[in-house]
A and B are shown apart, each in its own frame.
Chain A
Amino acid sequence: MSSNQNILVKLKQAGFRINDKWLVKGVTLQIEKGKIVTLIGPNGSGKSTTAKIALGIYKKIDGEVEKYTNKIGYVPQKISIDWTLPLRVNDFMTLTENLKAETINEALSLTGVIHLKDKNLGDLSGGEFQRVLLARAISKKPELLVLDEPVQGVDFTGEIALYELIKKISDELNCGILLISHDLHTVMSATDHVVCLNGHVCCSGTPIDVAKNNEYKALFGEQASQILTRYEHRHDHIHTSEGEIKKN
């Protein structure tokens, strides 16, 4: 039973549709404490939708969602903040929970944006804002962290550093992480489970260990290959432009 107690959220044949159009369906996955689940798939394949189902943002869904935690940190993919709001980074950090100043400072330092603490949110660059979003999500010390393309707009060196940070957070907080990758094949090597979506679960599995693979070392560089890896996979079916699924 001990493994059951580690489950944070569980999707059983979950799906979501708007009117008659399915955004995603038949998704079964679970996120456990200390584990990283990575979602990959092309644009419009239902990655963000799946995350929103897991978070309970979408309520009228098919299938089942069982959530066993309320301590959640979320980094949405797109966040449209109304810049007419006078909002500094420091105010944004306490948006959903009151935190001590030192907790805020610690989180902002971890993601490398402590110098922006008193800046207006509207004045940040895309990459800076992404780091603030991540800092806010981790500052609450959540049990479940949902990161929807958390490194978009961050330069490559910064991307590696943030992935390292995510790995560190996962180890330190022992929280479960649902990570959505913006790359079809590159995932964090710390990922325990990869789910490839395209309107449904195309395939899932574990990433290969590239730290040992010289070809990838050459591709990513020494440091990066320790944190990033490839998820090599082939599908036994194709999606036609009409949205039908054909077996190969």
Chain B
Amino acid sequence: MLDDFFIRALLAGLGVAIVTGPLGCFVIWRRLSYFGDTLAHSALLGVTLAYTMEFNIAFSVFIISSLIALILIQLQKRTNLPGDALLGLLAHSSLAVGLVVIGFLTFIRFDIMGLLFGDILAVTVDDLLIIWIGGPLIILVLKLIWKPLFASTVNYELAEAEGLNPDRAKAIFTILMAGIIAISIKMVGLLLITGMLIIPAAMARNISDSPQKMVVYSIIGGVLSVILGLFSSLEFNTSSGPSIIAAALFLFILSLLNIKQSIKLKN
């Protein structure tokens, strides 16, 4: 069964969607969408590193993304620049450096389009293993830090005062973000990973009234997007990554109908 490229693609997509669901909720709640973008852009550097040093791609993307997150935290402490400027600086310079390095590596043929927009149909059994071991691991760690992370998302000082150690939760969450980018880069590509994080969660926000519900709907939305996107990419012969994101957007638009109704009810 795993011999079929489409089954592999589907399994990879579903594995990623289950993880991006809850992480995406936190990305929205904590206003981290641009942070996710920055980590994703830096992933290109990780990919080039993987090719030159003959590392595993997911592993080296994880290392580079974590490193960029660390540099960001240091820059935030040591400069007076606003957060979004620092994020832009890191995102675009790491993307640029990654592309420059690719230019030097003339002896390797890169599928740039695949890196930027994903090549889920080229998913190997090894990739599946990484997704289905790494994914549940991310979920498990997120479940462990849920309380302090969520409490500090609502109010940092409350969490700190009542002894929940929000700084540690935030640091661990950053590592989880690097992790999800590492395991999903092949599926949606580095330009679209943030979309996979944000759009299903945004859809879920429109139809939920509690954080738990939002997480569940976000997972369901991601899973549906993957199924819809992959089947339509097979049908219309379109790239898999953009098709999945477009499907997510379609679900988001549907969820807007729900908002209209609830506003009407309130009036």
Contact = CB atoms under 8 A, between A and B. Distances in A.
Given A82-B29, A86-B210, A88-B210, A95 B158 contact: yes
B186 interface: no
18 contacts: A56-B161, A72-B161, A72-B162, A74-B162, A76-B157, A79-B158, A80-B155, A81-B155, A85-B29, A85-B153, A85-B154, A86-B213, A87-B154, A87-B210, A91-B212, A96-B158, A96-B159, A140-B162
Contact of A95 (B28, B150, B212): B150
B145 interface: no
Interface in A83-142: 84-88, 91-92, 95-97, 120, 140
Contact of A56 (B28, B160, B205, B208): B160
A91 to B, nearest CB: 6
B153 to A, nearest CB: 7
Interface string B136-162: 000000000001001101110111111
B160 A96 contact: no
A79 B157 CA distance: 9
B211 interface: yes
Contacts of A86: 205, 208-211, 213-214
A196 interface: no
A80 B150 CA distance: 15
A138 B140 CA distance: 31
Per DSSP, chain B at the interface is helix
A101 to B, nearest CB: 15
B209 A73 contact: no
A52 interface: yes
A70 interface: yes
Interface of B: 28-29, 31, 147, 150-151, 153-155, 157-164, 205, 208-214
Nearest to A123: B266
Interface in A143-182: 146
Contacts of A146: 161
Contacts of B205: 84, 86
A55 interface: yes
Nearest to A118: B209
A95 B29 contact: no
Contact of B161 (A55, A82, A88): A55
A77 B147 CA distance: 22
Nearest to B212: A91
Contact of B209 (A81, A82, A88): A88
Q: How large is the interface on A (under 10, 10 to 19, 20 to 34, 35 or more residues)?
A: 20 to 34
Contacts of B208: 86
Contacts of B154: 81-82, 85, 87, 92, 95
Greatest chain B CB density within 10 A among A57, A72, A79, A95 is at A95
Given A56-B161, A72-B161, A87 B155 contact: no
A129 B153 CA distance: 18
A74 B28 contact: no
A57 B29 contact: no
A140 B151 CA distance: 15
Contacts of A95: 150-151, 154, 158-159
A188 B158 CA distance: 24
Nearest to B31: A82
B163 A91 contact: no
Interface in A41-82: 52, 55-57, 70, 72-74, 76, 79-82
A76 B214 CA distance: 27
Given A85-B29, A86-B210, A95-B151, A70 B158 contact: no
Contacts of A73: 162
Residue in B150, B154, B208 whose Cβ sees the most chain A Cβ within 10 Å: B154
A91 B208 CA distance: 13
A105 B217 CA distance: 28
A146 B160 CA distance: 13
Given A76-B158, A92-B154, 16 more contacts: A52-B157, A56-B160, A56-B161, A72-B162, A72-B163, A73-B162, A76-B157, A79-B158, A80-B155, A82-B154, A85-B153, A85-B154, A87-B211, A91-B212, A95-B151, A95-B158
